[in-house]
Amino acid sequence: MEDIDAVCSDNSDHEINEVQHSSLLDAVSQLDIKQRVKPPSRKESSFQVSEFHLGKNDANRHAVLIRNLTKSLGQQGSHAVITKQLRSIHRKAKTLPRPLEKPVAARIQRSVGFRNAKIQLGRWDAVVYSNRVADQLSFPLKQSTVSFQTTNDFISKLKSQTRTPLEQQMDEILNNSPAVQEERKEEEEYQLSLAEMRERRREMAKLRAQQSYMASKASRQKKIKSKKYHRILRRERIRQQLKDFEVLQKTDPEAALQQLEQLERTRAEERMSLRHRSTGQWARNKAVRAKYDEESRQELAQQLAVSRELTQKIQVESSSDEEVEEENCENRIPTNNDNPWIAPKTTSEVDEFVSEYRKYWEEHNKKSSVETSSTNEIAAHNKVEDVREVGSDVRKGHTQNHETAPGDKNIKEEDLMGSCSLESVNTTDKNNEDICIDTDIPVKEGQKCTDAVYNSTETPAAQHSTFEEVSSTEGQSERKPNEENDTAEWINNSTEILSKEERLSPKKLKSTGEELNSNTLVHPQMKNVSPSKPKSMAEQEDDGTKIIPKWISLNKHKQVNISSGVHQKRNISPNKQENITEEVNNNIMIQLKRKKLSEKKPNATAEQVNSKKKKTKSSFNTDGDKFEPLECHSTLIATTNSWVVTPIVPEMGKMVDYNISEGKSNKQNKRNSTDKSTKKKEVKIGKLFDDMQEKLKEKVDKKLKKLKSEMNIKDKDKAEDTNTESDNEGPSLKLKQVNVQANMDEELVEQPHDGLQETESSNMNLNKIVAESRLEEEQQEPPADNIDPNKFIAMKPKHLQTELPDIVTGGDEAIDDNEDDSTERQMTITEAFAEDDVVAEFRKEKEEVTDKSQPKSIDLSLPGWGEWGGKNLPVSSRKKRRFIIKFPAVAPRKDTNKGNVIINEEKNNKVVSHQVSELPFPFTSVKDFEASIRAPIGNTWIPETAHRKLTKPSVITKLGTIIKPMDEDMLVNKEKKVKGMP
């Protein structure tokens, strides 16, 4: 009941508090909804918009949208444009991305700012670095120019002050005229300073003058009717092009090659097409007319000439060079009629020689063909050709005396062939000996001859050697076993010999010149590179070792360190051997092709071989066995080689590989050429050669690796350098200091100002003084009473290391004038020193010095100890043994056997304190430093101007002149110096 009552009462309450209840409900509903910030409302206009004023999305719920506004526009045609625009706007509208956080944004801004500042500062690099290395800087850097007031200026001032009214009126009218006004306007727009104006005007004038000059020239040239002139012009142009091409070849071989290719292509195209021929419509028309019309005939001829020009093959070498070369060769030939070796050979002789050889080889071939298979025949034929080449090469060095020699050799060779068939080791040995003997003969002949014709006398030896080697190719199979031992020494020998060659090269200038000849011929392009300097080439190429670096340099591989050439050379020498052979071979080929029969060339080839022989000449018989394999190998390649070596090899490494491969091919060639009957032996030989090649290859590979690694390191270094440079913002502008001087950066030697060390130092000083005084006492001479008057004469002469000036001696003229005067003078000198025995004195002095320098044995015995018997008794040997320490024997003095000198072997310690112990900073070598010290700068030694130049201070400032900081004008030096400007 109570419950009901309560409900009833509730009901009654509800009835009563209707309003309250609604408010309560409202409040409850309010609890559920989040509290919101009131959307901002604009009250007053202000510049600052708070970021909090940007309302949230739901704040816009009640906002007026464009959509609603545009509804009223409807679909009317008149509003089509507006609705379209609105639509497009809607489509494009996007919410902007959230701005970056403040610190991040600031950081970005800072980094951008710094980058800009860096660029800005980088502009100063050039100025700063140039100032840093400048020899002399005179501050203030920007010297103010002194300008004087000219009379015109002065007068113009006066004019402006005093003017008649008429003048003024005129001025007004003139100034107000539209033309003048326009001009003024222009002037105002581009205000140029007077200097700039003048500059501009000058430049314009120059340009115009040049233009007119060119135009007139062109018209003049065009007017010239002479066909000849135009032809010459064209030729000149072509020649110029060729010259340019040569230059290009020197400077940029790749580009040159490209150009060459281009030329080739045009030539090919020309040949392909029928342009510039007489087949075209135009040409045919002309041809019809040509009969009557001279002009058209000429035109046609021209046309054909053009085609000829275009289809002509390009000769790389200019003819003039060859001529010069020839001349040189001729000049070098000593035309000595007495010397049968040098006597010029007639073509008939040469032909005779060749024909003989041909005969021999034909015979030989017949023989061999009987013995050998068909494959061998072919090989032999090849060989014959090769030998023919050799023969043709050598024929010039051939003389009447030696016309018999081939015959002998023929016999010898036949013998050899016989021995080949025998296939016995013993016989081969014999053969070798025979050959040795053979080779001896001409050498002896050579020895008989005088030195002057030495080289020429050697040629037969060379000839012989080549022949011998030819034969050796046949008798290879037998010789190989012998050589097996020798091959091991092969490389060493070659290097030794070549080193000898190097040493001897300066002595035999002639031969080097000849070698040059051959070398230059071997590398036609090389000759192009330096046609004017055959001598230097000779120096460079007199030893084959330098050929490789030369090639490398040709190929623009300059990174290869040639300075370490000695080491390199030794290592490459095996290759080099091959190179030489290639040279020889090449030489032959080229000579054959060109038919340039300069007489030195065969000598040269012989010389190259010879030069090696020369070194072993003295012990030829004994070393012959050692030596031969080397030679035979080289000529072997030469003779069997059918390769044409292209002088430009793209890479050093490639080149070496190439050589190797060549060697291999040689080997193959050789294999083809060898007998089938001697197949077993051949296998042996093959193996041997393989071994050799492998050895060589290994060596070369090693070397290559080394080189490559070095190059890599260098490249890396370079790369690093470039990396570091790239850090430096733009190109490095660091310049090299012109005047290098020791750059000391050391701490000051600072000592306390007062007291402190004084006591110590004073003590030190005292000690010093005492010591010095003692020394003085010791050194003091005996009292004057003991002076012996004779001793005064023995004054030690003080020799200055100078020559007396010519003025004193009387110069050359004086000497020329009276020869007997000098003898007279000598007489007087001898008279003057007649009573002094200078020689004896000197001897005595020297003895003293040597005695002094001899170390004394140390006597440790105490005085009186063990001398019970009294003084002056002979010292017992036991005591001597015990107490006297003998000084070990010292190396004899340097001047022991030099009668008239005393060499002071003790260094002067006083000097040491003045000498530099370490190389000061900017210097990298002692030599440089010493050179910098050696060169005097005082006006005692050098002329005043040079002295001034060398002693000029690095910074000059003037007392009382303000030096302002650098400003932008230094940066961009706009003003060019103009002549005639104040």
Partner 1 sequence: MKVKVLCRNPDYYLRETKRDIYKVPRNYEPSLHPFEGLREYTRALNAVKLERVFAKPFVGNLDGHQDGVSCFGKHPQRLSLLVSGSYDGEVRLWDLPQQKCVRNFRAHDGFVRGIAFLPDGQQFVTVGDDKTIKMWKTDLPDWGEEEEPTNTYISKSVIMGVSHHQKEPMFATCGELCQVWEEDRNEPIRTFQWGVDSLHDVSFNPIETNLLAACASDRSIILYDTRDIGPIRKVIMTLRSNRLCWNPMEAFIFTCANEDYNLYTFDTRKLKQPLQVHMDHVSAVTAIDYAPTGKEFVSGGYDKSLRIFEHGKSHSRDIYHTKRMQRLTCVLWSMDNKYILCGSDEMNIRMWKARSAEKLGVLRPREKTALNYSEALKRKFGSHPQISRIARHRQVPKHVYHAQKELRTIKLKQKRKEANRRAHSKPGTVPFLSEKKKHIVEEQE
Handedness of CA 604, 606, 609, 610 (dihedral sign): negative
Task: DSSP letter for 859, please.
Answer: E
Answer for the pair 675, 371: CB distance below 8 angstroms, yes or no. yes
The nearest distance, CB 491 to partner 1, in angstroms, is: 44
Looking at the Cβ atoms of 809 and 828, the one nearer to partner 1 is 809
The nearest distance, CB 805 to partner 1, in angstroms, is: 6
Looking at the Cβ atoms of 724 and 857, the one nearer to partner 1 is 724
Cα(742)–Cα(922) distance, integer angstroms: 6
The nearest distance, CB 442 to partner 1, in angstroms, is: 53
Looking at the Cβ atoms of 755 and 980, the one nearer to partner 1 is 755
Cα(470)–Cα(673) distance, integer angstroms: 12
Can you read off the two tokens belonging to residue 431? 């053969």
Q: Which residues contact 453 (CB under 8 A, 6 or more apart)?
A: 336, 339, 341, 342
Looking at the Cβ atoms of 892 and 965, the one nearer to partner 1 is 965
The nearest distance, CB 963 to partner 1, in angstroms, is: 4
Answer for the pair 443, 502: CB distance below 8 angstroms, yes or no. no
Answer for the pair 246, 528: CB distance below 8 angstroms, yes or no. yes
The nearest distance, CB 730 to partner 1, in angstroms, is: 11
Picking from 355, 404, 362, 403, the residue whose alpha carbon sits closest to that of residue 384 is: 362
**Length in residues, the chain:** 982
Looking at the Cβ atoms of 100 and 218, the one nearer to partner 1 is 100
The nearest distance, CB 524 to partner 1, in angstroms, is: 48
The nearest distance, CB 909 to partner 1, in angstroms, is: 14
Looking at the Cβ atoms of 593 and 910, the one nearer to partner 1 is 910
Counting Cα atoms < 13 Å in the Cβ hemisphere of 454 gives 14
Looking at the Cβ atoms of 55 and 920, the one nearer to partner 1 is 920
Cα(814)–Cα(100) distance, integer angstroms: 100
The nearest distance, CB 773 to partner 1, in angstroms, is: 25
Query: β-strands 858-859, 884-885: how paired?
Result: antiparallel
Can you read off the two tokens belonging to residue 441? 């003969």
H or E segment to which residue 33 belongs: none
The nearest distance, CB 936 to partner 1, in angstroms, is: 4
Looking at the Cβ atoms of 49 and 748, the one nearer to partner 1 is 748
The separation between CA 866 and the C-alpha centre of its own chain, rounded to angstroms, equals: 79
Task: DSSP letter for 799, please.
Answer: -
The nearest distance, CB 466 to partner 1, in angstroms, is: 55
Can you read off the two tokens belonging to residue 345? 């050979």
Answer for the pair 682, 420: CB distance below 8 angstroms, yes or no. no
Which long-range contacts link 139-144 to residues 24+ away (Cβ below 8 Å)? Answer: 139/955, 139/956, 139/957, 139/958, 139/961, 139/963, 140/961, 140/962, 140/963, 140/964, 141/966, 141/970, 142/964, 142/967, 142/969, 142/970
Looking at the Cβ atoms of 140 and 340, the one nearer to partner 1 is 140
Looking at the Cβ atoms of 166 and 748, the one nearer to partner 1 is 748
Looking at the Cβ atoms of 3 and 813, the one nearer to partner 1 is 813
The nearest distance, CB 750 to partner 1, in angstroms, is: 4
Instruction: Give the N- to C-terminal CA distance of the chain in Å, as an integer.
Output: 129
